[in-house]
Amino acid sequence: MNALAISLQTYFTTFAHAQRDLSTNTIASYRDTWRTLLKYLTATLGVPADALDFDAVTATNVTAFLDHLEQERGNSAKTRNVRLTAIRAVLGRALPDHPEYAATITQVLAIPPKRTTRPVVEFLSPSEVNALLTAPNQQTWTGRRDHAILTMTVQTGLRISEICSLTHDDIHLGTGPHIACTGKGRHQRITPLTRTTVSTMKNYLTERSTLPGTALFCGPHGQPLSRDALEHRLAKHLTTATTMCPSLAAKHVTMHTLRHTTAMNLLAAGVDVSVIALWLGHADTHSTDAYLHADMAIKQAAIDRTRPPNVKPGTYQPEPDILAWLTSL
Query: How confident is the model over 253-286, as pLDDT tens digits?
Result: 999 999 999 998 998 888 888 888 889 888 777 7
Same-domain pairing of 91 and 47: yes
Three-class DSSP category at 189: strand
- Residue 198 is which amino acid? V
Which helix (H) or strand (E) segment holds residue 286: the answer is none
- Output the DSSP codes for 251-284: S---HHHHHHHHHHHHHHTT--HHHHHHHHT-SS
Q: In whole angstroms, what is the distance from residue 190 CA to residue 83 CA?
A: 32
Domain C-terminal end among 76, 109, 142: 109
Do 257 and 122 contact (CB within 8 A), yes or no?
Answer: yes
Question: Using N-to-C axis directions, what is the helix angle for 227-244 and 141-156, rounded to 10°?
Answer: 90
Q: Does residue 319 lie in a domain region?
A: no
Do 190 and 238 contact (CB within 8 A), yes or no?
Answer: no
Average pLDDT over residues 144-169: 94
Q: In whole angstroms, what is the distance from residue 136 CA to residue 236 CA?
A: 9
Task: Give me the pLDDT at residue 103, please.
Answer: 94
Q: What is the DSSP letter of 120?
A: P
* Catalytic status, residue 259: yes
Same-domain pairing of 100 and 167: no
Q: Does residue 88 lie in a domain region?
A: yes
Quick: pLDDT tens for 187-213: 788 999 999 999 999 999 999 988 999
Q: In whole angstroms, what is the distance from residue 315 CA to residue 214 CA?
A: 56
Q: Does residue 317 lie in a domain region?
A: no
* Catalytic status, residue 256: yes
Same-domain pairing of 231 and 153: yes
Same-domain pairing of 196 and 286: yes
Task: Give me the pLDDT at residue 286, please.
Answer: 75
Do 145 and 203 contact (CB within 8 A), yes or no?
Answer: no
* Catalytic status, residue 291: yes
Same-domain pairing of 77 and 176: no
Same-domain pairing of 76 and 136: no
* Catalytic status, residue 145: no
Which residue in the list 11, 40, 101, 291 is annotated as catalytic? 291
The residue among 150, 162, 216 whose CA lies nearest residue 189 is 162
Q: In whole angstroms, what is the distance from residue 227 CA to residue 210 CA?
A: 23
Same-domain pairing of 172 and 245: yes
Q: Does residue 312 lie in a domain region?
A: no
Q: Does residue 310 lie in a domain region?
A: no
pLDDT tier for residue 173 given thresholds of 50, 70 and 90: very high
Which residue in the list 184, 189, 227, 236 is annotated as catalytic? 184
Q: In whole angstroms, what is the distance from residue 289 CA to residue 71 CA?
A: 31
* Catalytic status, residue 282: yes
Same-domain pairing of 162 and 251: yes
Q: In whole angstroms, what is the distance from residue 266 CA to residue 191 CA?
A: 13
Same-domain pairing of 68 and 130: no
Same-domain pairing of 188 and 52: no
Q: 243 to each of 17, 146, 254, how far by Cα in Å?
A: 46, 18, 18
Host domain of residue 30? 3-109
Q: Does residue 328 lie in a domain region?
A: no
Count CA atoms within 13 Å of residue 104 on its CB side.
17
Which residue in the list 144, 147, 159, 237 is annotated as catalytic? 159
Question: Using N-to-C axis directions, what is the helix angle for 59-71 and 102-109, rounded to 10°?
Answer: 40
Count structural domains, the chain. Answer: 2
Report the DSSP beta bridge partners of residue 191.
Answer: 179
* Catalytic status, residue 159: yes
Task: Give me the pLDDT at residue 305, please.
Answer: 67
Q: In whole angstroms, what is the distance from residue 227 CA to residue 217 CA?
A: 12
Three-class DSSP category at 190: strand
CATH number, domain of 278, equals: 1.10.443.10
Do 150 and 128 contact (CB within 8 A), yes or no?
Answer: no
Which residue in the list 83, 147, 260, 282 is annotated as catalytic? 282
Quick: pLDDT tens for 215-224: 999 998 889 9
Higher confidence at residue 105 or residue 116?
105
Three-class DSSP category at 288: coil
Q: Does residue 329 lie in a domain region?
A: no
pLDDT tier for residue 159 given thresholds of 50, 70 and 90: very high
Q: Does residue 116 lie in a domain region?
A: no
Which residue in the list 80, 83, 145, 259 is annotated as catalytic? 259
Same-domain pairing of 160 and 267: yes
Q: In whole angstroms, what is the distance from residue 172 CA to residue 179 CA?
A: 6
Which residue in the list 256, 286, 299, 307 is annotated as catalytic? 256
Same-domain pairing of 84 and 154: no
Q: In whole angstroms, what is the distance from residue 30 CA to residue 192 CA?
A: 34
